[in-house]
Structure 1
Amino acid sequence: MERDELAAWLRLSLTPQVGSGTARRLLAAFGLPQNIFAQSHGALLAVAAPAQAQALLAEPPGLAAQVEATARWLAQARAERTLLTLADAAYPAALLQTEDPPLMLYLAGRRDQVSRADGWPRAIAMVGSRNATPQGLDNARQFARAFAQQGWTVVSGLALGVDGASHEGALDGAAAGALATIAVVGTGLDRVYPRQHLELARRIAAQGLLVSEYPLGTPPLQPNFPKRNRIIAALSQGTLVVEAALQSGSLITARQAAEQGKEVFAIPGSIHSPQARGCHALIRQGAKLVETAQDVLEELVPQPTSRAAVSGARGERPAQEAGDDPVLESMGHDPVTLDALVARTGMPPPALQARLLELELQGQVGRLPGGLFQRVGSA
C-alpha cells in the first residue's frame, strides 16, 4: 500500500463522527478514500449528515503521527505484517457479509496463509470465561488440540482463561506449517493485552495470526472487547462456548454467531458452578450440547472423522491415572469443600490435604476460590 493510500484510509477511519456505516456509503458513492476527500462540501452532503460532511473536510488530529507510526510498523516486518481494507481482494468474505465489517484489518503473523479472498481457513471459534475453572481450562486445551489435529484453525480473543487455553491447545495440536490459531484482539497490534500473554502472542505470530480492527496505539478500552467479538464469530464456521457465566461476554459472541447463521455449541457443566450457567442458558436457547470435539466436527463436517484424533477432547485421563483413587471417587465432578471430603473419605485432614496436593500437582484436581476443590477431567 502506497503512503498516500494508507493516509487516506487512516483519515477516513479516524474522522470524528464518521462511523463505519457512513464510511461505507461514502466509499460506495465516491470510490476509494482519496476520492472522498477530493469532494466538495455539497457533494459530501448528498451522502453524509452536515456535521459528518464538515468533519470530512478537516484532517483529524494526530493523523500525520498515525500514518508515520503505521508505515514504520509495516516496514519493520513486511513479511509478517499487513493492512487489509474493504477494497482488498484478501479481505475475508465472511466478514464482508456482516452488518458492520471493519474498514481496515491489521494483521501480524502468518499472513501468507490468508493472502487471497478464499485463503482464510476453515475455523472454529472458542470462547469462554476469563475466570475459568481448572476443568474449563483443561476442556479448552483438549478441544482446541483436537480441532487443530483435524486441520481446523481455532479463533479466539487472547483473553485470560478459556481464550488463552484455546490458543495454547491449538498451537500444540497443529501440524507444522498450518495456521494453528487466530487471535482477534481489542487493542492496537503494537500492544499485547493482557501482558501475561506476551509470550503466547509471540507464539501465535509464529504459528498463527493476530488480527485487530483498531489503530496502532489503541489501549485496552472496555468497549472494544465486546465489539471485536463479531469478528471472532465471522471468521469461524461455528462457535463453541466452553464455560461462561450468565453475564459473560462470550454469550455476545454466541449471539452474534447465531445472527450470522453460524452453529453455536456449548459444553455443559455442573449445576452448582456459576461458570456453567451461561452454557446451560445457551443450550436452553438452542445451542448444541457437546461432550467431545467429535460432536462439533460432525455438525460442521458431516463425514467420518478419526476418533483417535479427538479422543482426548473430553479431558479423559489414561486408565492408569483415573484408577479407583478413593479421593477422586469421593469428589465426583462438582466443586467440594475439604470438610465434605473428610466426611466422605474418612481420612484425617492432614493426610487428605497431602493427597489433594499430590493430585493437584498431577493435574487431576484443581483448587478453586473459596477453599473448594474440583476434579479435572471426566470419568
Structure 2
Amino acid sequence: MDKNALRAWLRLSMTEGVGNDAARKLLACFGSPQAVFEQTEAALQQVVTPAQVQALRNVPNELAVQCVRTEQWLMHQPDTHSHALWTLGDPHYPQALLQLADPPLMIYVAGQTRRTLGNAVAVVGSRNPTPQGEQTAEQFGEALCASGLCVVSGLALGVDGGAHKGALRGGTTKAHWHTVAVVGTGLDRVYPRQHQTLAAQIALNGLLISEYHLGAAPLAHHFPKRNRIIAALGLGTLVVEAALKSGSLITAQMALELNREVLAIPGSIHATQSHGCHALIRQGAKLVQNAQDVLEELQLAPQQQVSLFAEAMKVGEEAGSSNNLHPLLTHMGFDPVSLDALQARCGLDTAGLQAQLLTLELDGAVGRLPGGLFQRLIRA
C-alpha cells in the first residue's frame, strides 16, 4: 500500500459519523477510499446521509499524525515477526470477519502474518477467576491447540491469559497460528502491562489483532466492541468462568448471533465466577468437561484424542491411592471451602489448620480465594 492509499484508508476510518457500515457502502459504490474522496457531494449523497457527506469533506485533525505513526510502525519490521495492515478486500483479511454486520474497515496485525487461522475456537472468561479456573483455561488452551485448533482470546488477565499461555505450550504446527489475541488498544501498546511478555510470545507463534488505530488507549467501550471479533474468528466460543454480568456472556451472545456454537464449563455452585456458565448451560450451551467435548461439538476430527479432565481425575485417583497425597486435600475436595467448614471436616485446631493450608498454598496445591475461601488445585 502506497502512502496515498494508506492516507485515504486512515482518513475514511477516522471520519466521525461514518461507521463501518457506511464505509462499506461507499467502497462498494466507488471502489476505493481514494475514489470516495474524489466524489462530488451530490454523488456521495446517493449513498450516505447529508451529515455524513459533510463529515467526509472535513479532514480529521489527527490524520497527519496518524499517517506518520502508521508508516513508521509498518516500516519497523522486527526480526521475529511482522507488522501489517489488512483492509477490506485484502487477501489476508480473515474471511470469518466478513460475517459480521460491521466488519472492521481495517485491522492492524502483528505476528506471524504469513500463517493462517485454520480451525479456531474462542476461549473467554473472568478477569478474576478462581485459581482452578485459570488453571483450567491453560489446560484447555494447551489441549485444544495440540488437537489442531487455534485458540482465540482477548489478552486480558485471568482466563484469557491462561488460554493463550496453554495454546503456546500445546501448539506444534507452523501452518496456522497457535493463538490469536484480539486487543482493545492500538498495537503499539500492550494492555494490561503484565502481559508484555505474553504478547511478545504470541507474536512468535500467533497473531495480535486490533481494529483500533495506533496510540489508542484502553478505553472501556473498546472491549465489548472487540468481543465481536473474538466471537467471529472462532467456530465456537468456550466460556471457562463468568459471572452473570460479564463481557464473556456478551461474547457468547455475539457467537449465537453469528450461528456459532456456545460451550461452557460448569463449576462450583458456591463460586460466583461459575454462575454465568451455569446460566448458559440452562439456556442450551454445550456442557464441557474435557477438550474432546469441544471437538465433538464443533464436529472436528481430532488429530489427537485429548481429555484433560479424564487425565486429571486419573492422576487424582492415583495420588489418592498413594501415601503422597496430603490428608487435608482429601477433606477439601475440589469446590471452594471456608476455613470453618474445613475445620469441621478434618478436626484440626485453627492454628494447625492454617499452618497446613499455608504449606499447601506455597507448594501450589491450594489456592486462596476472596471471602476467606480455599480451593484445591489440580496440578497440570
Q: Common fold, TM-score beyond 0.5?
A: yes
- 1:129 and 2:141 aligned: no
Q: 1:313 to 1:147 in 2, by over 3 A?
A: farther
User: Paired residue for 2:293?
Assistant: 295
User: Paired residue for 2:333?
Assistant: 332
Partner secondary structure for residue 112 of structure 1: coil
Q: How does 1:212-291 map to 2 (within 5 A)?
A: 212-291=210-289
Q: 1:313 to 1:98 in 2, by over 3 A?
A: farther
User: Paired residue for 1:98?
Assistant: 100
CA-atom RMSD, angstroms?
1.7
- 1:36 and 2:60 aligned: no
Aligned equivalents of 2:371, 2:311: Cα separation in 1: 26
Partner secondary structure for residue 239 of structure 1: strand
Q: How does 1:144-223 map to 2 (within 5 A)?
A: 144-175=141-172, 177=174, 179-223=177-221
Aligned equivalents of 1:206, 1:354: Cα separation in 2: 43
Aligned equivalents of 2:9, 2:361: Cα separation in 1: 52
The range that moved more, 355-364 or 121-130, is 355-364
* Structure 1 residue identity aligned to 2:114: D
Unaligned runs of 5+ residues in structure 2 are: none
* Structure 1 residue identity aligned to 2:227: N
Partner secondary structure for residue 373 of structure 1: strand
Contact 2:185 2:217 (8 Å CA) reproduced: yes
User: Paired residue for 2:56?
Assistant: 56
Aligned equivalents of 2:302, 2:3: Cα separation in 1: 50
Q: 1:228 to 1:137 in 2, by over 3 A?
A: same
* Structure 1 residue identity aligned to 2:276: G
Aligned equivalents of 1:45, 1:175: Cα separation in 2: 52
Q: How far apart are 1:55 and its partner, in Å?
A: 1.0
The range that moved more, 321-330 or 366-375, is 321-330
Aligned equivalents of 2:5, 2:270: Cα separation in 1: 55
How big is each residue's C-alpha offset from its partner over 1:33-75, in whole Å with a ceiling of 9 and x where there is no partner? 0000000111111111111101111111110110110010010
Contact 1:74 1:81 (8 Å CA) reproduced: yes
Q: How far apart are 1:176 and its partner, in Å?
A: 5.9
- Choose from 81, 84, 89 the match for 1:82: 84
Aligned equivalents of 1:128, 1:53: Cα separation in 2: 41
User: Paired residue for 1:318?
Assistant: 315
* Structure 2 residue identity aligned to 1:265: L
Partner secondary structure for residue 318 of structure 1: helix
Q: How does 1:8-47 map to 2 (within 5 A)?
A: 8-47=8-47
The range that moved more, 275-284 or 41-50, is 41-50
* Structure 2 residue identity aligned to 1:353: Q
Q: 1:28 to 1:302 in 2, by over 3 A?
A: closer
* Structure 2 residue identity aligned to 1:360: E
Aligned equivalents of 1:133, 1:34: Cα separation in 2: 51
Contact 1:359 1:365 (8 Å CA) reproduced: yes
Aligned equivalents of 1:188, 1:377: Cα separation in 2: 37
Q: How far apart are 1:301 and its partner, in Å?
A: 3.0
Q: How far apart are 1:315 and its partner, in Å?
A: 4.7
Contact 1:142 1:314 (8 Å CA) reproduced: no
Aligned equivalents of 1:242, 1:313: Cα separation in 2: 17
Aligned equivalents of 1:315, 1:6: Cα separation in 2: 51
- 1:366 and 2:367 aligned: yes
Q: How far apart are 1:288 and its partner, in Å?
A: 0.3
The range that moved more, 334-343 or 288-297, is 334-343
TM-score (norm 1): 0.94
Aligned equivalents of 2:118, 2:276: Cα separation in 1: 28
Aligned equivalents of 2:313, 2:58: Cα separation in 1: 61
- Choose from 128, 136, 142 the match for 2:139: 142
* Structure 2 residue identity aligned to 1:239: T
* Structure 1 residue identity aligned to 2:274: A
User: Paired residue for 1:117?
Assistant: none
Partner secondary structure for residue 275 of structure 2: helix
* Structure 1 residue identity aligned to 2:42: G
* Structure 1 residue identity aligned to 2:92: A
Q: How far apart are 1:363 and its partner, in Å?
A: 2.6
TM-score (norm 2): 0.94
Partner secondary structure for residue 23 of structure 1: helix
Aligned equivalents of 1:303, 1:130: Cα separation in 2: 31
User: Paired residue for 1:6?
Assistant: 6
Q: 1:347 to 1:317 in 2, by over 3 A?
A: farther
Q: How far apart are 1:317 and its partner, in Å?
A: 7.0
How big is each residue's C-alpha offset from its partner over 1:125-146, in whole Å with a ceiling of 9 and x where there is no partner? 0000001001101110011100
* Structure 2 residue identity aligned to 1:12: L
Unaligned runs of 5+ residues in structure 1 are: 115-119
Q: 1:317 to 1:139 in 2, by over 3 A?
A: farther
Contact 2:289 2:309 (8 Å CA) reproduced: no
State how many pairs are aligned.
372
Aligned equivalents of 1:226, 1:313: Cα separation in 2: 34
Aligned equivalents of 1:280, 1:154: Cα separation in 2: 22
Q: 1:200 to 1:329 in 2, by over 3 A?
A: same
Contact 2:202 2:208 (8 Å CA) reproduced: yes
The range that moved more, 242-251 or 349-358, is 349-358
Contact 1:293 1:313 (8 Å CA) reproduced: no
* Structure 2 residue identity aligned to 1:293: A
Q: Percent of pairs identical after alignment?
A: 58
The range that moved more, 214-223 or 84-93, is 84-93
